[in-house]
Amino acid sequence: MFHIMSHVIALGLVTYICWFAVPGTSLFSWHPTLMILGFGFFMLEAILIFSKNSNLFPNATQAVKVRCHWILQILATSCAVGGFLVIFINKNRSNKPHFISWHGILGAITMFLTCIQTSMGTGLLYPKLPLFNTLKLVTLKRLHALSGALFFILSCLVIFLSLYSNWFVRKAGLYTLSWWTCAVCIIMLAVFVNNQIAQVYLFKKK
């Protein structure tokens, strides 16, 4: 039950936000669409692939899971970069100031950290690369998993803050059933990832 729930919640949230945004109707419409697809689907699935509880392919070997993980993460990072460029260009076009809301400021920080996390992942894939070859592989793995979980939870906070944006409040209202449904779904995604990483890396018996 638990293992299906995370995928259903993620798919439901992505569909709902895309339905609100109607991708293609304006340049802005691609910002929520690409962001929720990137973080709420590709990145979530990329992390859940390693979970014992919510894994869609429980019999896959570790090598297959690692390959699926980096392919999904490349898709997630591409969506995130696309979503960021869209909102940046859109603001330039309408002569609006940049990074003035908490969503915008934390969103920019999350984007930067996502790029760092992606390069750390590249270091795990190619540990002989300069800089990465100075670190022990097991240390790099732990760091990658813990920072990955932390950054994902931060991205959930950024999505949560977007529920307070004028755009979302105009579509769904504030503290309405639809607002709370989105809020609870976003919190659930953060909880799933937090539990998975905590179980594997923090509470592992030596």
Distance CA 109, CA 200 (A): 27
Instruction: Establish if 192 lies at the interface with ligand HEM (CB under 6 A).
Output: no
Query: Is the distance from CB of 80 to CB of 35 less than 8 angstroms?
Result: yes
Pick 72 or 158: Cβ nearer ligand HEM: 158
Pick 56 or 75: Cβ nearer ligand HEM: 75
Instruction: Establish if 110 lies at the interface with ligand HEM (CB under 6 A).
Output: yes
* Cα separations in angstroms, 173 against 54, 89, 102, 167, 184: 32, 27, 19, 10, 15
Pick 101 or 199: Cβ nearer ligand HEM: 101
Site for ligand HEM in 43-82 (CB under 6 A): none
Give the binding range for ligand HEM (CB under 6 A) out of 52-60, 100-108, 122-130, 193-201. Answer: 100-108
Instruction: Establish if 35 lies at the interface with ligand HEM (CB under 6 A).
Output: yes
Instruction: Establish if 86 lies at the interface with ligand HEM (CB under 6 A).
Output: no
Pick 23 or 127: Cβ nearer ligand HEM: 23
Angle (CA) 178-35-141 rounded to 5° is 115
The least CB distance from residue 18 to ligand HEM, in Å, is 9
The least CB distance from residue 30 to ligand HEM, in Å, is 11
Give the binding range for ligand HEM (CB under 6 A) out of 45-53, 64-72, 93-101, 135-143. Answer: 93-101
- Contacts with ligand HEM by CB under 6 A: the residue count is 26
With 0-12 / 13-18 / 19 or more C-beta atoms within 10 angstroms meaning exposed / middle / buried, residue 31 is buried
Query: Is the distance from CB of 47 to CB of 74 less than 8 angstroms?
Result: no
Q: For residue 51, count other CB atoms closer than 10 A to its CB.
A: 21
| 3-state SS assignment for residue 68 | helix
* N-to-C CA span, the chain: 29
Residue 58 phi, psi (nearest 5): -65, -25
Residues of this chain that interact with ligand HEM (CB under 6 A) are 17, 31-32, 35-36, 39, 84, 87-88, 91, 98-99, 101, 103-104, 107-108, 110-111, 155, 158-159, 162, 165, 167-168
